[in-house]
Amino acid sequence: MRQPTRKHLTITVIATLIAITAWVLLRQPASTTSITELAKTAPLHAQTLSEKLIPETDLPPPGTRSLFDHLIVQNDGLPYPFEKLIALLQKQHPEGQTPVSLLIPHGRSLLKGQADDARPRIVVAADYQTGNTPVALGTAPQGQLFLGFVENAKEIEVLSYNEAAGRFEFQLVQNYCEGCVPRIVYARRAICTTCHQGATPIFSQRPWNETNGQQATANAIAAARGDKPYHSVPVRQPLSMPERYDQLTDVGNFLKATQKLWLEGCGAEGAECRRQMLSLALLYADNPGGFDAKSAEADRLRQLQAASFPKDGVTVPESDIHNRDPIGEKQGFKGWLSSLVTRDIRFGEGAKDNEDLGQFDKLPPLAVDVDPLTLRAPKQVLKATDIDGVYGVAGFFTEADIKTLGEQYGFDIRKLRAKVAALPPETFAARPLSRVAMMNALLDKPRQYCCLKTDEMSPPVASGVPPLKIVRNLQLKPYEEHCFACHRGNPAKRLDFMNGENEDAVLANLQAKKEIRDALDWERYEGTDKASKLMPPRDSVQYPKLKKAGPEFRQKMRETVPGMFDF
Ligand code: HEC
Ligand code: HEC
């Protein structure tokens, strides 16, 4: 063997030096947090009052549902494809504006390995409140409804507020793809809250390099897929878009803090404290500029809080994660060095759905300070002397609410507050704060609200229940292909008539729905005033397929459902 030459030695020395420099410069430790482990750990402390009254169960507390479910029921089912869901939110907006939406090709969500520049993750935030009418209160989705869609994973993640239960619901729309039967399920919260640590929305801080509000990211998307909008979301967004999105996640996050202040801050017996908090909140909402946080009345709230406030304070969860710049990370000398010691996520790696935690853990780790799994210190720790509950409670009411109350009380805030003072203590018993319940306590005549009743909804479904396998009743197959997408798992009970736990139950339910025969009788009803009742709907992706299958195919389907007069 030859002796190593001088040249070899020099190369070895240089290589070693580079490796050492890389290690020194990039000492920013890599995260070792495992999502699999985190999702298992239970909280270490005894349950607080708000944890007891707002439980962290996977399914929503009985008799309550997410805003998302209500929205879907009100609109007869889940629209497909995704741009139609976006259009639905736009339609609800009083001025018809599109929701706040962003593209995130290389993000940090659970499904990050399934997105790329060609099919980036889409996040959407509703940004509207609807007006009240003389008989009904409007909705308040601003800061209360968020979507995250990863097309390659065929999955929409949904985070929306549950008015009656006082918490955000974590849901998934699985199998959301063309010709598929989507399933709307409630996710395992323990998984979601590894990153969404307050059980609330989260988002990065400025300057939001991961989003297409930044030119470099938008350019990369445009290079991969052209400049045409992706599911109606523009490839280039102004920086004001992630900024607004960030604000909306903060609004949502503070709902949680407000519930804690309302319940724990005032305590189990704190009806008078909650009364004072509401009274001040209405005063603040009436005239924010004129509000005096040092007034005797504000001090009265401080005194009431002092009697019950948890001694360690009330924490506001940290909903902001540090900015991360996936493109910048690769540039310059540091980027080159970093490429020597780390590798990128290859497309398609990692979790393919929200149960795939083992695969997620195999991805190259992020640096600790940008890893959403890293346990974050609270954004704030509030004390009995803080009256942030006042601002939080004020934020529960919409602009329209303040106007409605004004109209009822002759725009005299003293009269409104006299009413608050006169409400029975029961109104302020320890239960989650509900804007709708409070409005109705304050109004002479209670008004309806679209999104509370659950008796017309099909039962909520937990994730992990296996989809239906049709092996015996093969006559169900065409229904699976052409109808299940909208009539199985539809949150609206009246449209959920193809549901059922097993094949036989599904067949029985389907056969009990006589209207199906008519809905499939295109020959008879086309061109008549009943044409709009023909199924599938004209604008659905299922329609052209069933049309292609031909009239005999539809006739066969009809035979599955016995006619009214058959025996
Ligand atoms: C590994 C960390 C992680 C886990 C686990 C996780 N998320 Fe997220 N999620 C994020 C990050 C980071 C964002 C914000 C940026 C983005 O979307 O890329 C986000 C955003 C969202 C959004 C958009 C609203 C918002 O908060 O900005 C929804 C909806 C969402 N997640 C739902 C879920 C659901 C449902 C689960 C559980 C099944 C879940 N997430 C689990 C990291 C995670
Ligand atoms: C893209 C979604 C979609 C698909 C696919 C679809 N439907 Fe419907 N279906 C609806 C909606 C929405 C309504 C409610 C229409 C209304 O009330 O005006 C409805 C209503 C019906 C009704 C009337 C229910 C009632 O009690 O009023 C029947 C019956 C029906 N569908 C049968 C079918 C059959 C059979 C198929 C498959 C061949 C099918 N649908 C496919 C969305 C769909």
Please give the pLDDT value at position 358: 84
pLDDT > 70 in the chain, percent: 96
Please give the pLDDT value at position 387: 98
Residue 123 CA to ligand 1 centre (angstroms): 9
Residues 133, 139, 142, 143: what is their CA dihedral angle, to the nearest 10 degrees? 150
* CB of residue 520 inside a 6 A radius of ligand 2: yes
* CB of residue 487 inside a 6 A radius of ligand 2: yes
* Cα–Cα distance for residue pair 136/42, rounded to 1 Å: 41
Give this prediction's pTM: 0.91
pLDDT > 90 in the chain, percent: 81
Taking all residues of the chain, what is their mean pLDDT, rounded to a whole number? 93
Please give the pLDDT value at position 208: 98
Give me the mean pLDDT over the 125-131 stretch.
98
Give me the mean pLDDT over the 149-158 stretch.
97
Please give the pLDDT value at position 567: 43
Rg of the chain (C-alpha set): 27
Which residues' Cβ are closer than 6 Å to ligand 1? 35, 104, 107-110, 121, 123, 146-148, 157-159, 170, 172, 187, 191-192, 194-196, 201-203, 249, 321, 354, 372-373
Reported as a single tens digit per residue, the pLDDT across 260-313 is 999 999 999 999 999 999 999 999 999 999 999 999 999 999 999 999 999 999
Reported as a single tens digit per residue, the pLDDT across 354-403 is 777 888 888 888 999 999 999 999 999 999 999 999 999 999 999 999 99
Please give the pLDDT value at position 6: 77
Q: How confident is the model at residue 466 (pLDDT cuts 50, 70, 90)?
A: confident
* 212 pLDDT more than 90: yes
Please give the pLDDT value at position 3: 63
* Cα–Cα distance for residue pair 260/266, rounded to 1 Å: 9
Query: Whats the size of the chain, residue-wise?
Result: 567
* Cα–Cα distance for residue pair 387/98, rounded to 1 Å: 35
Give me the mean pLDDT over the 167-172 stretch.
98
Instruction: For residue 507, give the nearest of 550, 534, 472 by alpha carbon.
Output: 472
Q: Residue 541: nearest ligand to its CA?
A: 2
* Cα–Cα distance for residue pair 211/215, rounded to 1 Å: 9
Q: Which atom of ligand 2 is nearest to the CA of 495?
A: 24
Reported as a single tens digit per residue, the pLDDT across 479-523 is 999 999 999 989 999 999 999 999 999 999 999 999 999 999 999
Q: Where is pLDDT greater, at 344 or 81?
A: 81
Residue 533 CA to ligand 2 centre (angstroms): 8
* Cα–Cα distance for residue pair 241/235, rounded to 1 Å: 12
Residue 487 CA to ligand 2 centre (angstroms): 7
* Cα–Cα distance for residue pair 145/148, rounded to 1 Å: 11
* Cα–Cα distance for residue pair 567/562, rounded to 1 Å: 8
Structure tokens at 560: 């599955």
* CB of residue 544 inside a 6 A radius of ligand 2: no
Ligand 2 pocket mutation pick from 535, 543, 554 by most atoms within 8 angstroms of CB: 535
Reported as a single tens digit per residue, the pLDDT across 555-567 is 999 999 987 664 4
* CB of residue 540 inside a 6 A radius of ligand 2: yes
* CB of residue 483 inside a 6 A radius of ligand 2: yes
Instruction: For residue 313, give the nearest of 375, 376, 252, 260 by alpha carbon.
Output: 260
How many angstroms separate the Cα of 163 from the Cα of each of 92, 169, 218, 317? 18, 10, 36, 20
Give me the mean pLDDT over the 335-341 stretch.
73
Q: How confident is the model at residue 153 (pLDDT cuts 50, 70, 90)?
A: very high
Judged on CB neighbours under 10 Å (0-12, 13-18, 19+), 47 is: exposed
For the chain, first and last CA: distance in Å? 95
Give me the mean pLDDT over the 31-56 stretch.
84
Q: Where is pLDDT greater, at 353 or 549?
A: 549
Q: How confident is the model at residue 4 (pLDDT cuts 50, 70, 90)?
A: low
* Cα–Cα distance for residue pair 113/103, rounded to 1 Å: 15
Please give the pLDDT value at position 43: 62
> Which residue, by CA, sits nearest to atom 29 of ligand 2?
516
Residue 107 CA to ligand 1 centre (angstroms): 10
Reported as a single tens digit per residue, the pLDDT across 234-260 is 999 999 999 999 999 999 999 999 999
* Residue 532 CB coordination number (10 Å): 9
* 453 pLDDT more than 90: yes
* 31 pLDDT more than 90: no
* 1 pLDDT more than 60: no
* 25 pLDDT more than 70: no
* Cα–Cα distance for residue pair 50/262, rounded to 1 Å: 9
Structure tokens at 459: 């039962």
Please give the pLDDT value at position 10: 80
Please give the pLDDT value at position 44: 63
What is the identity of the amino acid at 85?
Answer: L
Residue 159 CA to ligand 1 centre (angstroms): 9
Q: How confident is the model at residue 456 (pLDDT cuts 50, 70, 90)?
A: very high
Give me the mean pLDDT over the 133-137 stretch.
97
